[in-house]
Chain A
Amino acid sequence: MTRKRDLLMSPSAALGVRSSALPARRPAAPPARSGPAAAAPKKHKKKFGRDGLAATIFLLPWLIGVVGVTMGPLLASAWLSLTSYDLFTAPVWTGVSNYVRMFTQDPTFYTSLRVTFTYVGVSVPILLIAALLLAIMLNRGLKGLAVYRTLFYLPTLLGASVALAVLWRQVFSTGGMINQVLSWLGITGPSWLGDPSTALSTLVVLNVWTFGGTMVIFLAGLRQIPDHYYEAAQVDGAGALARFWHVTLPMLSPVILFNGVLAIIRAFQSFTSAYVISGGSGAPANSTLFYSLYLYQQAFVNYHMGYAAAMAWFLLVIIGVFTALAFGSSRWWVFYGE
């Protein structure tokens, strides 16, 4: 019983490993300034100034990029979101009317939100689980690991490309590869892309299929876990599942957080696959109308640039909230080492 209870504690406590052997949760606090160092602030300041200058020079290209390229459009889009702007004539100030319309008069806005949340809610967990399981499989000292890793990474290279979405359209069409295989089993497959109840699932599968990047990061994380943790757990009688639950998962939790946040952001911004597969319309019956696709329609089909800018800012808020939730909750489930 004792062992069981211990195993539910942090790995360092459970395995009897000295905490100094594990990565520190946070860098140790710098020693208090006292003695000679505190007595010679001038020298320290001078050194900091040189470093600061070097850092500024190295950061300068990025700073110029942010201030000169990113900040301008960012602020402009914030302002445009408060205007009516058709791209041809000068923007007309309309205050918060775009936001009011978005929340109170546009049912399609809510449809696109529902589709996007469903997509994120389903595809992100499946993507993370699939990538983690494959990474664990590949981490078992397989022969030709590099070949497998490359093969699994290939779909990611094609990722959100138009070519892959076109291929997907062929694979899932009524007469496509999936239905061809099903017909050999005597099953008449549905119209995967044409039926609103299945169209979004094809996009989920497409997203999950591009697990390679996530998997490679998991694999790198797995290889960082010292073997002696597993050996200690084994000595304590932990089975494979217990080792996974009490060693692998906690040690990998920072990587899970990282991959999770990236996957959430990417899924919220998904566009290309839905655009190509639905011909830009979100068909059938708006079942693949991602938020970003609807935003595109408003901007480049209807030329409602102000409204599209408002939608973009709301997307930023959504992504910000989910990212904050992920980081905020990390204190309860992410283990950085004690």
Chain B
Amino acid sequence: MFEQKYPKVKLSGQPDGNYTDYWQKLTVQAAAKNMVCVPSMQNTYMAQYDTRGALMPLDDLVKSGAIDISKLPKSIVAGGKGPDGKLYMIGTAAATTTLVYNPVMADKYGIPAPPKDMTWDSYAQWLLAAQPKLPKGVYAADLQGGQYAIAFAWIRSHGYDVFTKSSAGGYKLGFPKSTLIDFWNWWNPLIKAGAVTPPGMMAEEPTTSGQYYDAQAKVLSEVDTSNASADDAALAAIGGGKVVPINFPLGPKGKSGEVMDLSGLSISANCKNVDAAAAFINYWANNPDAAAVYSSDNGAVTNKDLLATQTASTELAEPIKTSLDFLKGLFTANRPVAFYPPGYSGIVTLLTSTYSNVAFEKQSPKEAADSFFATANQDLAG
């Protein structure tokens, strides 16, 4: 389609394998300064590239009109900027990792929907009340004290940034240890009541969305992506069910810790064909045909007009429509795009392994928090 519109441009795609493989490959390409002209980018990894000079600032291309960002929400444009304030990514699809629950399972066992505008306490109460109604082997929630999205949502909802700049020039954790300890302790009543999966199930949970415990009908609620297409398909294969996104609980002062994640396109610093690259990005950000073909498969299309067209469409698959409606709510509430510093993926792994020590009582929450802060701050410092 793009080549038909721009016959002088020849596109050459690259096989990207799975998600992890893609980023490893891109890193090696960036190190060798032979990155593809237009790499797929995400806010989760962007700082790794833009702070190290691997991406080209797009501000001049926006000023010249080569890339039109007038239809993108301000929060989406801001999410594509690096710490130096320059634009490095045009976000073409927004998604979020949030809480989900299975309303079909809830109805079946007489469990009400989660409370609206729920707090962390009311969410815990809902889980505790739900557990006795569920059959043996099914849990109200998945034990996710080591899951980054819910941990970071807790931290933000308590008024802190997860990461901040350090005086030495790198980054550091932006919240006190007590916040993390409180988060880990929040799970204790749920563990004692058997309302969450036992610690032994943590390591056994598959690492791909669509195979998590919610997609296996083993839990009523857990953290997952807002697009539940894969979960619904998996549930259909084992007798039915449905997964829908719900907002993360609010903090003690009514603050939300919700953020959006952004997928988009960038231009590599070594790109020689900048005009064609800009045209390609503009095409994916604004062209109705491109949006229709992509159909918000990897998050809601960020162009407001195109999103309105898609949410009004009757042809959209139900899980994607549910996800789009949820994400539209995040746009309306002006939720920010999350910032992740270079090396954040190591922090995610560290959080999981550290909480594992707490869950198996190998460390007290305080010891674990001390260890987590020492290692994380060292890694973030660069």
* Residues of chain A having any CB pair with chain B under 8 Å: 84, 86-89, 101, 105-108, 173-174, 190-191, 193-196, 199, 278-286, 289, 297, 300-304
Contact = CB atoms under 8 A, between A and B. Distances in A.
Interface string B179-215: 0000000000000000000111111100100000000
B357 A195 contact: no
A303 B378 contact: no
Given A86-B382, A88-B52, A302 B199 contact: no
In order of increasing CB-CB distance, the 9 nearest A-B pairs are A191-B200, A194-B200, A88-B52, A302-B346, A284-B203, A283-B203, A285-B356, A87-B31, A194-B203
A86 B31 CA distance: 9
Interface string B274-303: 000000000000000000000000000000
A153 to B, nearest CB: 31
Given A190-B200, A199-B203, A285 B346 contact: no
A284 B199 contact: yes
A16 to B, nearest CB: 60
B27 interface: yes
A105 B377 CA distance: 12
A88 B356 contact: no
Nearest to A283: B203
B273 interface: no
A301 B203 contact: no
29 contacts: A86-B342, A86-B382, A87-B27, A101-B378, A106-B375, A107-B375, A174-B200, A190-B200, A191-B200, A193-B203, A194-B200, A195-B360, A196-B356, A279-B207, A283-B203, A283-B352, A284-B200, A284-B360, A285-B353, A285-B362, A286-B356, A297-B346, A301-B346, A301-B349, A302-B345, A303-B27, A303-B48, A303-B342, A303-B343
B354 to A, nearest CB: 9
Given A285-B356, A301-B349, A303-B343, A173 B204 contact: yes
A281 B353 contact: yes
Interface in B368-382: 371, 374-375, 378-379, 382
B79 to A, nearest CB: 21
A285 B352 CA distance: 9
Interface residues of B, number: 36
Contacts of B199: 194, 284
A191 B272 CA distance: 54
Given A279-B207, A281-B349, A285-B362, 11 more contacts: A88-B49, A174-B204, A190-B200, A194-B200, A196-B362, A199-B203, A282-B353, A283-B203, A285-B353, A286-B357, A304-B379
A195 B200 contact: yes
Nearest to A302: B346
Contacts of A302: 343, 345-346, 379
Nearest to A304: B379
B346 A108 contact: no
Interface in B192-251: 198-204, 207
Contact of A300 (B24, B30, B52, B382): B24
A281 B352 contact: yes
Contacts of B343: 302-303
Nearest to B353: A286
Contacts of A303: 27, 48, 342-343
A194 B52 CA distance: 38
Contacts of A87: 27-28, 30-31
Q: Which of A101, A285, A286 has the most CB of B within 10 A?
A: A285
A280 B24 CA distance: 14
Interface in B28-52: 28, 30-31, 48-49, 52
Q: Which of B24, B200, B359, B371 has the most CB of A within 10 A?
A: B200
Given A88-B31, A194-B202, A303-B48, A283 B353 contact: yes
A182 B382 CA distance: 49
B151 interface: no
Nearest to A282: B353
A191 B199 CA distance: 10
A173 B201 CA distance: 9
A101 B24 CA distance: 25
Contact of A278 (B27, B203, B382): B203
Contacts of A196: 356, 360, 362
A285 B53 CA distance: 36
Contacts of A282: 353
Contacts of B201: 174, 191, 194
Nearest to A111: B353
B120 to A, nearest CB: 25
Nearest to A307: B379
Contacts of B349: 280-281, 297, 301
A107 B371 CA distance: 9
A190 B199 CA distance: 12
A86 B357 contact: no
A83 B279 CA distance: 41
B54 interface: yes
Contacts of A278: 203
B12 to A, nearest CB: 24
Q: Which of A89, A101, A190 has the most CB of B within 10 A?
A: A89
A106 B200 CA distance: 26
Nearest to A288: B203
Interface string B297-322: 00000000000000000000000000
A279 B353 CA distance: 12
